[in-house]
């Protein structure tokens, strides 16, 4: 049995940057509070807690003097409110997310209604809409947009950074087919993250060669869920796990080629544990054949 992982695994530069900012903040100020987990990985969150990082779910829960905006960003109103309360705000928003926020702001300032291709409940998407000054909506379905009945004449389309390029293209296509007769001007800004794009391309490539794909990452991580979706859409049996312990021996039985990829919030040690677990299962299966 052959086991292969994609060339790119582990933290992306945006996550590494956010962790560095947090570590520097704890060194300088001691305890800090983040608005939501800085990354979607419990082991990382637990490690940060030991350094003095407390996670809160909304600004009212902040009790200290230092608040950190996580890598997926926040609406600008949140940091304004915190600063007005006299808190020091440290911003660890990923530069790629910042690009999407700036695009939303620029479009709305010149009169465009912003439509974000993304999960309306995801913090990054809520943040982008906040930068559009509330002049926009988020949806994953280009056709099911009942809220667009009163569509303004100028529309700007953006994407959540971690979405799949083919799905964004499909969304644009359906949107144009359905709404172009009703709008005067349409602007499309490609706000997809290049790291996610590359990782998805590598994952699909590997998925097309293997018998089973293991995708490692938090279940609430948008980029990991997208990775699992694209691997499954290649027609390959795909399992999304958070830890090595979740990998079941049955998945590998009778398989000759196993592929592994990870989301962007996964520490290298978790990838190593997954590779070790797969190797142990492989040895066990080899010994019985």
| Of positions 6, 9, 10, 14, contacts ligand F3S by CB under 6 A | 14
How many residues would you count in the chain? 289
124 flagged as catalytic: yes
* Active-site position among 124, 202, 237, 249: 124
Site string for ligand F3S, 264-283 (x = CB under 6 A): x-------------------
Query: Is 26 a binder of ligand F3S (CB under 6 A)?
Result: no
Are 189 and 157 within 8 A, CB to CB? yes
Q: Are 227 and 268 in contact (CB under 8 A)?
A: no
Query: Toward ligand F3S, which CB reaches closer, 212 or 223?
Result: 223
d(CA 12, CA 155): 31
**274: exposed, middle or buried (Cβ count in 10 Å: 0-12, 13-18, 19+):** buried
Out of 195, 214, 247, 274, name the contact with ligand F3S by CB under 6 A: 195
Least distance from ligand F3S to the Cβ atom of residue 93, Å: 9
- Identify residues 134-173 at the interface with ligand F3S (CB under 6 A): 161-162
Task: Examine residue 193 and tell whether it contacts ligand F3S (CB under 6 A).
Answer: yes
Q: How far is the CB of 40 from ligand F3S (least distance, A)?
A: 10
Q: How many helices (H) and strands (E) does the chain have?
A: 9, 12
Taking CB under 6 A as the rule, does residue 196 contact ligand F3S? yes
Residue spans of alpha helices (H) in 85-240: 95-109, 123-131, 165-179, 194-207, 222-233
Residue 36: left if φ>0, alpha if ψ -120 to 50, beta else—which one? Answer: left
Binder to ligand F3S among 3, 15, 213, 270 (CB under 6 A)? 15
Neighbours of 2 (CB within 10 A): 12
Beta carbon nearer to ligand F3S, 33 or 124: 124
In the chain, where do the E strands start and end? 2-5, 32-35, 53-56, 66-69, 88-91, 113-117, 136-139, 154-159, 185-188, 212-216, 237-241, 257-262
**Contact flags string 99-138 toward ligand F3S, x per CB under 6 A:** ----------------------------------------
List 5, 9, 10, 12, residue binding ligand F3S (CB under 6 A) = 12
| Residue 90 lies near ligand F3S (rule: CB under 6 A) | no
Question: Using N-to-C axis directions, what is the helix angle for 123-131 and 95-109, rounded to 10°?
Answer: 40
Among 13, 122, 165, 197, binds ligand F3S (CB under 6 A): 13
Beta bridge partners of 239: 214
Contacts to ligand F3S by CB under 6 A: 12-15, 71, 94, 96-97, 161-162, 193, 195-196, 223, 264
Q: Which residues are catalytic?
A: 124
């Amino acid at each position: 049995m052959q086991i292969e992982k994609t060339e790119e695994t582990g933290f992306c530069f945006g996550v590494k940057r956010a962790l560095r900012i947090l570590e520097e903040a704890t060194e300088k100020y001691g305890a800090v509070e983040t608005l939501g987990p800085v990354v979607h990985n419990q082991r990382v969150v637990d490690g940060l807690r030991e350094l003095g990082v407390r996670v809160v779910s909304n600004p009212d829960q902040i009790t200290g003097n230092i608040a950190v905006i996580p890598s997926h960003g926040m609406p600008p109103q949140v940091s304004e409110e915190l600063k007005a309360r006299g808190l020091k705000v440290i911003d660890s928003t990923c530069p790629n997310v910042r690009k999407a926020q700036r695009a939303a702001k620029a479009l709305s300032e010149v009169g465009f209604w912003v439509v974000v291709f993304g999960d309306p409940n995801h913090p990054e998407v809520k943040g982008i809409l906040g930068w559009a000054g509330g002049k926009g909506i988020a949806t994953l379905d280009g056709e099911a947009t009942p809220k667009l009945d009163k569509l303004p004449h100028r529309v700007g389309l953006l994407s959540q950074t971690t979405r799949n390029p083919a799905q964004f293209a499909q969304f644009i296509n359906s949107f144009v087919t359905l709404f172009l007769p009703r709008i005067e001007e349409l602007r499309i800004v490609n706000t997809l993250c290049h790291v996610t794009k590359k990782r998805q391309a590598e994952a699909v490539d590997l998925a097309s060669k293997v018998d089973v794909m293991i995708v490692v990452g938090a279940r609430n991580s948008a980029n990991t869920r997208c990775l699992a979706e694209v691997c499954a859409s290649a027609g390959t049996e795909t399992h999304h796990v958070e830890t090595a312990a979740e990998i079941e021996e049955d998945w590998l039985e009778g398989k000759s080629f196993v592929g592994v990829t990870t989301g962007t919030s996964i520490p290298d040690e978790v990838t190593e544990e997954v590779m070790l677990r797969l190797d142990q299962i492989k040895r066990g299966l080899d010994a019985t054949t």
